[in-house]
A = this chain, B = another copy of it.
Amino acid sequence: MTHSIEGILQAVANKELSVDDALLALKKEPFTDLGYAKVDNHRAVRQGAAEVIYGAGKTFAQIRGICEAMLKDGQECILITRLNQECAQQLRGVINLEYHKDAKVGIVGKLPEPDGVGTIVVAAAGTSDLPVAEEAALTAEALGNKVDRLYDVGVAGIHRLLAHMDEVMTAQVIITVAGMEGALASVIGGMASCPVIAVPTSVGYGASFGGVAALLAMLNSCASGVSVVNIDNGFGAGFQAHLINHLKTLDREK
């Protein structure tokens, strides 16, 4: 209802609405019409980008219902995060779902064509970090970004990372995913000239405290240009990288 405040004012001007009733209407729902329901606006601009469903704590019936409603609306791609395997199997019986077991991510429909400014690099330190890295990568892809995966580039074998300097140097945004001591963010942050989003993972044991060691390391990165999201929050990193990679698009529309 993008017309509502304007509509109310027009109605008042037209004497179709009393000042008192207009006042009440504005008090009751003064905001639904102001257009800052971010997701909707944004999406209107870029057909094809996925809708997102946070699957954790939702039942098969709920997710199915939301998906079917979205598909009916013409949505071509839906991203479901934190989707457990059992629920995924049930969904596969009724809709066209591609399920990434480790990342616990489901994709309904086909991924959109990338329409971002550049490439998002997702760099992960070890194989145990892949589920979180994939959540980030698939999120970015579902939202319409080209993603380059650099996996198993942990700093204990620095040559593996250095061998990929080209990708690091030409990325638009880099997502670094690491558990344990989380040093990857600092090393890449020092090499790259683009923004780096660091995702600590809960990979580790003992004094890793479920990802706290990596989180603190990333917050204290000696490299400039690194910011951090919550432990294991691959989606959050993928989403912010997507925002950065699509800023130009917004710019063009002005």
Question: Distance in Å from the Cβ of A160 to the closest Cβ of chain B?
Answer: 8
Stretch from A67-75, A93-101, A105-113, A181-189 contacting the other chain: A181-189
Q: Cβ of A114 < 8 Å from any Cβ of B?
A: no
The residue from B27, B193, B222 contacting A165, defined by CB atoms under 8 A apart: B27
Residue from A26, A127, A185 with most neighbouring chain B CB atoms (10 Å): A26
Give the bracket for the number of chain A residues in contact with chain B: 35 or more
CA gap between A192 and B221 in the complex, in Å? 23
Given known A9-B19, A227-B228, A248-B247, contact A28–B163 (CB-CB < 8 A): yes
Q: What string of 1s and 0s marks CB contacts (under 8 Å) between A33-61 and chain B? A: 01111100110000000000000010000
Once the chains bind, are A159 and B32 in contact (CB under 8 Å)?
yes
Once the chains bind, are B187 and A183 in contact (CB under 8 Å)?
yes
The residue from B23, B166, B204 contacting A6, defined by CB atoms under 8 A apart: B23
| Nearest opposing residue in chain B for A200, CB measure | B206
A185: chain B residues at CB < 8 Å are 181
| Nearest opposing residue in chain B for A42, CB measure | B193
| Nearest opposing residue in chain B for A231, CB measure | B206
A23: chain B residues at CB < 8 Å are 5-6, 9
A197: chain B residues at CB < 8 Å are 227
Once the chains bind, are B213 and A31 in contact (CB under 8 Å)?
no
Once the chains bind, are A223 and B37 in contact (CB under 8 Å)?
no
Majority SS at the chain A contact face:
helix
CA gap between A190 and B154 in the complex, in Å? 9
Once the chains bind, are A226 and B220 in contact (CB under 8 Å)?
no
Question: Distance in Å from the Cβ of A93 to the closest Cβ of chain B?
Answer: 25
Once the chains bind, are A195 and B231 in contact (CB under 8 Å)?
no
Q: Cβ of A230 < 8 Å from any Cβ of B?
A: yes
Residue from A186, A187, A227, A247 with most neighbouring chain B CB atoms (10 Å): A227
| Nearest opposing residue in chain B for A180, CB measure | B220
Q: Cβ of A66 < 8 Å from any Cβ of B?
A: no
Closest 9 CB pairs of A and B: A206-B231, A31-B159, A183-B183, A156-B190, A213-B216, A227-B227, A156-B223, A181-B217, A206-B230
Q: List 17 A-B contacts (CB under 8 A).
A: A13-B13, A26-B26, A28-B163, A36-B165, A125-B222, A155-B223, A156-B189, A156-B223, A162-B162, A180-B222, A181-B181, A194-B247, A206-B211, A206-B219, A206-B233, A207-B216, A247-B247
Besides A36-B165, A219-B231, 15 more A-B contacts (Cβ < 8 Å) are A5-B23, A6-B19, A9-B26, A117-B247, A154-B222, A155-B187, A156-B224, A158-B162, A162-B162, A181-B182, A181-B221, A207-B220, A213-B220, A219-B229, A225-B240
